[in-house]
Amino acid sequence: MIGLTGISYKTSAVEVREQFSLAKEEIIPFSELLQKETGISDLVVLSTCNRTEIYFSQDKYNFHLAAKLVYKTLKHFKGIEQKFWHSFYSYADEDAVKHLFEVASGIDSMIVGEDQIIGQIKDAYMFCTEAALTDAVLMRLFQKSFEAGKRVRTETKIKMGITSVSGAAVQKCTNLFNNLSNKRVLMIGAGETGSLVLQNFHKNGNPKITVANRTEEKARKLAGRHNCTLLPFEQVPSHLFLYDIVIVATGSKTPLVTRELVEQSLEARKNEQQVFIDISVPRNIEKNIEELEAVQLFTIDDFNEIIHTNMEKRKDSLETALEIIDEIVEEFSEWLASRSLKPAIQAITYNLQKISKEEVSGYNKVDSEEIQMAINEFSKHLAQKYTRLFIKNLKEMTANGKKTETLKLVNDLFSLSE
């Protein structure tokens, strides 16, 4: 059974989502705890600024119990005592498959059609696969999700307009300021999100941008690639007042921009307006800075207006995208169902061949070599014919493996052994 337990921007605010966010270095320890407490060992963890989703493959529990156990283990791992089950969603089998394909295609994203999510899914899958956390079912599932994402983006116009949170953040800046070219921007964070922010700024006003990151070499490479200034990370507090716009996109578990730092910055700026944009999960800017008069703070959840505008542009593409996804879901379901037939097919073939050999052995005393060969050939032909007939009927009776109850009945009826 394929299962999914997750939380996203659709079901909870950022202050809840950030509590369940899993950094890359937490995935293996979490998987070890999950295996210890539940026996579930095959999984892929997708944790982004907008969602934390755990895809798993198991046959030990019924779906609802499995989903609840994964949720409870995640709570245990993160040390969360408060109840948040109402903020989680769970899907099984085809519903879980369809959800993943919609996520990979950008349909389930806050900004429909965004590109960043497909790279995040590939990274999550590769990390879990290299850590030996995925089985054949999950491998096939995620490979098909990449196919779904590619086809939707190439065969529809779902990418029209802004397609990432990074793009929406930059769009917010252009909406706030008539002219960005004379503004100074500090980008804290040198990961994929930070890189996308810089790309979007170059398309929209091209302000003076400075990059800072805890790992200076990454910041240096990013700054060099986009012709930006480099600021050593430890100098951020003393230089914060220089920037009109401060954007933070890091994986830090504690706030990097505190109210105290912002108060010092405003004092040095003589209370000139300063804009802060936090696109990190967990949040990296203390929320209470928005209480300061000269400050504007925006988080991921503040981009609704931009998202709505882009949704209108993409509505026509959604119907086609969903048709593509349904087609690939059906392909995967057929593969998964036929996979469940393999043990029965192998057992039918083995048993009929075994019976054939045992029965033919009784005619070994026939003196004529020609008659002996004829008996062997007839026996083999008969076994093959009935094997094909049984397999054909098996596929029809079980809807190619989808009717598991019928499959069990067939196994019991013929007492098929491996």
Q: Which two tokens stand for residue 185?
A: 């921007």
pLDDT more than 70, % of the chain: 89
pLDDT the model gives residue 385: 74
pLDDT the model gives residue 418: 44
Q: Say if CB 219 and CB 212 are below 8 A apart.
A: yes
**Ordered mean pLDDT values, 10 residues apiece, the chain (418 residues):** 95 93 95 96 94 95 95 97 96 96 92 87 97 96 96 88 83 90 94 90 88 95 93 96 96 93 96 95 93 94 76 80 94 81 70 73 67 75 71 66 63 55
Question: Residue-wise over 232-244: b if at least 16 C-beta within 10 A, else e?
Answer: eeeebeeebbebb
Domains: count for the chain: 3
228 part of the active site: no
Rounded CA-CA distance 346/201 in Å is: 59
Q: Does a structural domain hold residue 160?
A: no
Q: Say if CB 93 and CB 2 are below 8 A apart.
A: yes
Same domain, 290 and 366: no
Q: Cα-flanking dihedrals φ and ψ of residue 251, to 5°?
A: -100, 15
Q: Does a structural domain hold residue 317?
A: no
Same domain, 17 and 150: yes
Helix ranges (H only) for 58-179 are: 63-78, 93-104, 116-130, 136-155, 165-176
Neighbouring C-alpha atoms within 13 Å toward the C-beta of 127: 17
Same domain, 277 and 356: no
Same domain, 8 and 127: yes
How many residues are present in the chain? 418
Same domain, 57 and 178: no
E-strand stretches of 168-228: 184-188, 208-212
Q: How many helices (H) and strands (E) does the chain have?
A: 14, 10
pLDDT the model gives residue 389: 72
pLDDT the model gives residue 250: 93
Whether the upstream peptide bond of residue 282 has omega within 30° of 0, thus cis, is: yes
302, 318, 351 - which closes a domain? 302
The candidate with the shortest Cα–Cα distance to 109, out of 173, 152, 45, 171, is 152
Same domain, 178 and 217: yes
Q: Say which DSSP state 233 is in.
A: G
Same domain, 170 and 297: yes
Amino acid identity of 134? T
Same domain, 290 and 356: no
The model carries a pTM of 0.69
Rounded CA-CA distance 102/264 in Å is: 45
Q: Which two tokens stand for residue 370?
A: 């020609």
Same domain, 371 and 268: no
Same domain, 243 and 279: yes
The candidate with the shortest Cα–Cα distance to 111, out of 300, 296, 326, 247, is 300
113, 132, 155 - which closes a domain? 155
The 89-92 sheet, strands edge to edge: 42-47, 51-57, 2-8, 89-92
Angle in degrees, CA 284, 286, 288, rounded to 5: 160
Same domain, 146 and 174: no
Q: Does a structural domain hold residue 326?
A: no
Range(s) of the domain holding residue 112: 2-155
Active-site option among 49, 128, 173, 228: 49
Place of tokens 């960043």: 116
pLDDT the model gives residue 111: 80
pLDDT the model gives residue 375: 72
Q: Cα-flanking dihedrals φ and ψ of residue 296, to 5°?
A: -120, 125
Structural element, H or E, at residue 276: strand 274-278
Q: Say if CB 215 and CB 191 are below 8 A apart.
A: no
Measured CA to CA in angstroms, residue 3 lies from 59, 378, 380, 407 at distances of 10, 48, 43, 22
Q: Which two tokens stand for residue 321?
A: 């995208």
Rounded CA-CA distance 370/414 in Å is: 34
Q: What is the pLDDT of residues 207-241, one digit of tens each?
A: 999 999 999 999 999 999 999 999 999 999 999 99
CATH number of 232's domain: 3.40.50.720
Rounded CA-CA distance 73/228 in Å is: 43
Rounded CA-CA distance 32/355 in Å is: 46
Amino acid identity of 201? F
Same domain, 104 and 50: yes
Amino acid identity of 38? T
Q: Does a structural domain hold residue 330?
A: no
Measured CA to CA in angstroms, residue 394 lies from 155, 331, 356, 384, 402 at distances of 37, 20, 20, 15, 11
91, 120, 155 - which closes a domain? 155
Spell out the residues 6+ positions from residue 383 whose beta carbon is closer than 8 angstroms to its own.
352, 353, 355, 356
Measured CA to CA in angstroms, residue 143 lies from 47, 103, 174, 183, 216 at distances of 18, 13, 38, 43, 35
Q: Does a structural domain hold residue 17?
A: yes
